[in-house]
Structure 1
Amino acid sequence: MTISLIDSASVMTHILNATPEARPDLVREMWAPMAGMYHFIPGGLDMADVHRQNFGFDADANADRLGEGLDALITADAWRRIEAALETGIAALKAATPGLAVPDLTVLLILGDPSNDHFMTEVQGLSGFGGISGYIALTVWPTPRVLDRLEAIAVHELHHNVRYSPGGVVWNPSTVTVGEHVVSEGLADVFASELYGDSGYTHFVSEQTRTDDAVLAKVATGLDVTGMQDFAAWVLGDATARLFGAEPVGLPTGAGYAAGARIVREYREATGRTAAQSARTPTADILSTALPRLGLAGMTAAEHH
């Protein structure tokens, strides 16, 4: 398999130096190698819209501030570090599951929008997407915490990518449950922690949320919910739900990540199977093992086929 890391540092430099009228097409050009993510949408999408939906930087915003952010990523050697981390993660997954097929990867790292309060405050400069086989998009603002976690951020998305690649778990938008999303985030975070220690855990989840039994119990009540329009509240929390026009359910930011990590660690303790070994384990198997041990027996998500 191959890792194709887009040279977005050069493209972003070009965008920031371009005339305002030229920038939208340059943004589309930067995202063009990722267009295959949307192969299932007739006619595809305008990749400038995709850029905005991923909290991508506003090319017409303060060029000096964006330039400082880009310089920080370049100084941190972000592109090389992410590629090396993906290679480490792939090796770990293949060692855990001999014969595991890992897709060729196209990877895009971009600056996020520092003027977006939700992006900067609520999710603390991080938006990642790796759930479509063969593609990983990472939108970041280079705070010290984000720069410290670049490797963990990359392998988190890698775990998603392998889980939902051919031969793995099928994400059917009409039948997928909150339980699947929660477990997938837990697996990805625990996998990152197996490689990088505590920095593997997604940093916009507070320590209180990670350990709050009431948060775990509340998330468990939603594991059977279907309909992706409701996932934001159960997994990312009420603030994100409100952002996307969904109904809040009374959960803090990152609640599903916290619950998922506790569920996966409980499953690992019961079975001895690491998150690396469990990349393609059905959610129903993980929940049926972990929930009774957590005192949440009877709360299981539907089997996915």
Structure 2
Amino acid sequence: METTLNMRTVKALDGLRKALEAPKDERDGTFVREVMEPLRPLWEPSLRFMGSMARDVTEPLDVARLFRFYRPELGAERGLTALAELERAGTWAACVSAFQEAMDALDPVGHGLRLPGANMSFVLADPDGMDARLGSYTGVGNVPGWSLLLAWPTEFNLPRLPAIVTHEFHHNVRFAFEPPWPMTLGQYLVAEGLAEAFAAHFHGEEKLGHWTTGLSEAEVRAVRPRFAQALLSQDWNVVRGFIFGDWAASEHQFEAQGVPDFAGYAMGYRMVREALRRSGWSVVEATYRPWREIVAASGWFDEVLADAAVR
């Protein structure tokens, strides 16, 4: 059994800079070599879960387009300006620090977990390809051993980027503790709620994304009955419909569940926060508890389930 887990960073931002500063006819090749190949262990498994979206996508440049990575064809000057902005803000160093802090706090090896690694990278995003609802930043933490931050710098997201790194590493650990497939809605709610609570613990609730804080308490409570009825669903279209909301259903052509944008993030965060308050667990302690136990501790659905039983 491993006794330590060491962080490994993949410096995709440096690789992109090399590509953008290369002679024009060498930029694509440099980008593939310096950015896409080091990230292959992340994107190659991801393609298998993307269904028809990734059909026939195998070439690294096509993968970069699919994943909304910034690439040389989008313009050297524009990309270099964004990289300079990130450098001035000290974003990469802040993200590395956040990742190490998350590793130390969660101590997965000390909790008996074996992760295939602790790889972290930051990729500059295609600003025109990112959905506006995401605020020009997002993350990936569902590939074992990998945490990815994808962002185009803005005044809004720059101070929030380290929190995404913290969130995504939490997913790595949580999914090693409680494997995600098949994924129930209840398990996904807890996973997102714990990751956001963990990020809030280190960075403050004000640094969370609007996908978690954008709905009022009243709006979240109003859709609790819908969530309560579907907690055990393992239908991926149902699960993601509740987590991401009706915009995603329209965008990706699956059945809408009649819930607001990103309702599952807001629901999961409030549910986990209430479970921590009532139980006295720290967010690290809760990370190593089954999802059903966390839902029960929250009492979040007790009232609506009782009402349904009476009816």
Alignment match, 2:132: 121
Map 1:194-273; keep pairs closer than 5 Å: 194-209=201-216, 211-212=218-219, 213-273=221-281
Corresponding position of 1:9: 13
The whole-number CA distance in structure 2 between the counterparts of 1:291 and 1:87 is: 33
Task: State the Cα distance separating 1:67 from its structure 2 match.
Answer: 2.4
Correspondence for 1:34: 39
Give 3-state SS (helix, strand or coil) of 1:109's partner.
strand
Cα deviation 1:64-94 (Å, max 9, x = unaligned):
3322222111211222111111111122223
Deviation at 1:6, TM superposition (A): 1.4
**Deviation of the 1:178 alpha carbon:** 1.9
What residue is the counterpart of 1:78 in the other structure? 91
8 Å contact 1:236–1:253 — kept in the other structure? yes
* Separation (CA, whole Å) in 1 of partners of 2:305 and 2:203: 31
- Among 137, 141, 149, the alignment partner of 1:138 is 149
SS at match of 1:277: helix
Match of 2:172 in 1: 161
Letter in 1 for 2:76: A
Q: 1:58 to 1:74 in 2, by over 3 A?
A: same
Aligned to 2:69: 56
Question: Does the CA-based 8 Å contact 2:171-2:195 persist in structure 1?
Answer: yes
SS of the residue 2:123 aligns to:
strand
CA contact (8 A) 2:123 2:150 kept: yes
1:148 — aligned with what? 159
Normalising by structure 2, report the TM-score.
0.82
Between the aligned residues of both structures, percent identity stands at: 24
Please state whether the residue corresponding to 1:143 is helix, strand or coil: coil
Report deviation, 1:290: 2.0
Q: 1:108: Cα distance to partner? A: 1.6
Structure with greater Cα Rg: 2
Would the aligned equivalents of 1:89 and 1:155 in 2 still touch at CA under 8 Å?
A: yes
**Which amino acid in 1 is paired with 2:296?**
S
CA drift at 1:7: 1.7
SS at match of 2:38: helix
- Runs of 4 or more consecutive aligned structure 1 residues displaced over 6 Å after TM superposition: none
How much has 1:282 moved relative to structure 2? 1.5
> Secondary structure of 1:137's partner?
strand
In the alignment, the residues of structure 2 paired with residue 209 and residue 115 of structure 1 have an alpha-carbon distance, to the nearest angstrom, of 29
Partner amino acid, structure 1, of 2:139: G
Higher helix share: 2
Q: Which range moved further: 184-193 or 106-115?
A: 106-115
Q: Secondary structure at the match of 1:60?
A: helix
Matching residue's letter, 2:162 = E
Gaps of 5+ in 1: 300-305
TM-score between both structures, scaled by the size of structure 1 = 0.83
Give the whole-Å Cα distance in 1 for the aligned partners of 2:304 and 2:25.
Answer: 56
* SS of match in other structure, 1:251: coil
Tell me the distance in 1 between the aligned counterparts of 2:63 and 2:299: 37
Kept in 2, the 8 Å contact 1:152–1:199? The answer is no
SS of the residue aligned with 2:70? Answer: coil
**Mapped contact 2:215–2:266 kept (Cα < 8 A):** no
- Paired with 2:300 and 2:11, the residues of 1 have a C-alpha distance of 47
Question: Bigger shift: 245-254 or 208-217?
Answer: 208-217
Residue identity opposite 1:251 in structure 2: V
Residues in 1 aligned to 2:147 and 2:173: alpha-carbon distance in whole angstroms? 11
* Aligned-pair CA distance for 1:21: 6.1
Report the aligned-residue RMSD.
2.8
Which residue of 191, 212, 229 maps to 1:184? 191
Deviations 1:238-258 (A, max 9, x none): 223322232222222221110
**What does residue 303 of structure 1 align with?**
none
Secondary structure of 2:120's match? strand
Shift of 1:26: 3.9
DSSP 3-state at the match of 2:147: strand
C-alpha contact (below 8 Å) 1:33/1:106 kept by paired residues: no
